[in-house]
Amino acid sequence: MRVGIIGGGAAGLAAAYELTKQGHYAEVFEAAPFLGGQASTFEVGGGQLERGYHHLFVSDTAMTELIHELGLGDQLAWLESKVGFYHSGRIWDFATPMDLLRFKPLTLLQRLRLGLWTFALQKTRNWQKFEGVTAQDWLTRHLGAETYRTIWEPMLRGKFGEYYDQISMTWLWGKIYLRVASREKGLQKERLGYPMGSFGEVFDRLGERIVQQGGAVHISARVNRVAVDDDGAATGLEVQLAGQDAEVREYDAVIATTPSYVFTRLVSDLPPDYLDKLVNVRYLAAVLIILTLDRPLSPKYWLNIADRSLPFVGLIEHTNMIDPALYGGRHIVYLTNYTARESDLYQKNDAELLEDFIPHLQKINPEFDRSWIREYYHHKVDGAQPIIGVNYSQRIPDHRTPIRNLYLANTTQIYPEDRGTNYSVRMGRQVAEMVVRDGVGG
Ligand SMILES: Cc1cc2nc3c(=O)[nH]c(=O)nc-3n(C[C@H](O)[C@H](O)[C@H](O)COP(=O)(O)OP(=O)(O)OC[C@H]3O[C@@H](n4cnc5c(N)ncnc54)[C@H](O)[C@@H]3O)c2cc1C
């Protein structure tokens, strides 16, 4: 079979890898001048750094297995995560059940209740029972309004901005249930995985492997549209390779891995039912400022900011997990927000964001001085987070689209887990299998 693939992120590359491994021809078109999509990297201090902070959980087995298959297993380090919670003007440890018990902003009773319910959620497999209820309603009912407002609301706002009160409890269940798998039994310490050559190295190696297996991978190669014949079957792609005229290439099947709002622009005449599912999903963009500092800022890798007077919701100090020597001795801090593309935050430029953020860094470390900053970078990742509302399972578009031979594999179809490289790799490989099965059958 000949398969055309739109997008060279985790899903598109995994699909092409699986297809070429099975002896089929796959050709990947990636619009950006690099592979990896949301998990792509850029150069900092001689090392490769993700545009948005990235790590793996122990439960991310599809990604871990792929890294081993690519011969990069010895690069994958499992490191102790240091998680903190910024609340009431100080950083609280927030990694283990003992930390929870010491979290003074809640009463002892509230902490015990929180601990018991968190434990219960970790042991619950049946996510369907949470489908019809928002996390806000469930948590308020079971943990009380104050615990919800202190712990969970800031976290939900951090991930979903103004949509925080519409998020399904199933989404939160997934976070809690899977996270426990990242803890060592007994010790209750969480380990996070990181490929020491960066996620960029994994995706570049994947691209090389696809080519070795007989496929093709193009960067700076935009797909303009999916060609569909009069019988309603996809026949190819109109592609625009760098410096060349647009041309149509023919395929037996096409897999699209773009966000849904991009997909609808590439395909005309989608039937209303399917189109509705695509247009009704909303996404948030990630807006990031990355600072490189000449010294550490905080003691934590991951700091949840539960204080709305700070203009960012997460502070991830990458070099509190990964050795700064990889980046020429620079200490790397991500300041992050998720927001709608129409928001003021999204529209602001790098200098404006920096000026907004800098005065607040002294709240994290009173000694902080702007002279510590060596460089700063600004990244925006569109289509970063689909909004997962109640009864989401009924609104997921099928991988097999109503256009014959056209398949969709994007992050809106990952459920009940939260989107992540692991699930895009798993989905990419599964959809490749589906294409092969359909091709054999037909
Ligand atoms: C800030 C941030 C932090 C994250 N942290 C983690 C983490 O710690 N761990 C983790 O596992 N995951 C993390 N993720 C999520 C993870 O990066 C994504 O879920 C995953 O990479 C998505 O892969 P994908 O291939 O499905 O989609 P994408 O990566 O979005 O790939 C789609 C690709 O399609 C391309 N494209 C779009 N239109 C066209 C076109 N017309 N022609 C050609 N190409 C096109 C895009 O350029 C893109 O490369 C994070 C994401 C963000 C934004």
CA 50 to ligand 1 center in whole angstroms = 11
The pLDDT tens digits for 142-158 are 999 999 999 999 889 88
CA 388 to ligand 1 center in whole angstroms = 17
How confident is the model at residue 190, as a pLDDT?
82
110 in helix, strand or coil? helix
The pLDDT tens digits for 395-431 are 999 999 999 999 999 999 999 998 999 999 999 999 9
Burial 140-171 (b: 16+ CB within 10 A, else e): bebbbeebbebbbbbbbbbbbbebbebbbbbb
Q: Which ligand 1 atom minimizes the distance to the CA of 7?
A: 34
Question: How far from 300 is each of 293, 304, 316, 331, 357, CA to CA, in Å?
Answer: 15, 10, 8, 12, 18
How confident is the model at residue 269, as a pLDDT?
86
Measured CA to CA, the distance from residue 357 to residue 231 in angstroms comes to: 55
Q: Where in the chain are the domains?
A: 2-40+198-281+396-441, 96-189
Measured CA to CA, the distance from residue 441 to residue 432 in angstroms comes to: 14
How confident is the model at residue 184, as a pLDDT?
55
State the amino acid at position 290 in one-letter form: I
In the chain, how many H helices and how many E strands? 14, 19
Rg, C-alpha atoms of the chain: 22
How confident is the model at residue 182, as a pLDDT?
61
Q: How many CA atoms lie within 13 A of 31 on its CB side?
A: 13
The pLDDT tens digits for 33-88 are 999 999 999 999 999 999 999 999 999 999 999 999 999 999 999 999 899 999 98
Task: Report, as ranges of residue numbers, the positions in the chain whose pLDDT lies below 50.
Answer: 186
How confident is the model at residue 407, as a pLDDT?
98
Measured CA to CA, the distance from residue 253 to residue 236 in angstroms comes to: 7
Name the CATH superfamily housing domain 2-40+198-281+396-441. Answer: FAD/NAD(P)-binding domain (3.50.50.60)
Q: Which of 40, 421, 429 to mutate to test the pocket of ligand 1 (most atoms within 8 A of CB)?
A: 421
CA 90 to ligand 1 center in whole angstroms = 33
How confident is the model at residue 261, as a pLDDT?
97
97 touches 187 (CB < 8 A)? no
**Nearest CA residue ID for atom 20, ligand 1:** 421
**Nearest CA residue ID for atom 6, ligand 1:** 54
Measured CA to CA, the distance from residue 134 to residue 306 in angstroms comes to: 20
Measured CA to CA, the distance from residue 353 to residue 335 in angstroms comes to: 10
pTM of the entire predicted model: 0.96
CA 160 to chain centre: 13
Task: Kindly give the pairing relationship between strand 76-80 and strand 247-250.
Answer: unpaired
Helix (H) or strand (E) holding 180: none
Q: Which of 258, 321, 399 to mutate to test the pocket of ligand 1 (most atoms within 8 A of CB)?
A: 258
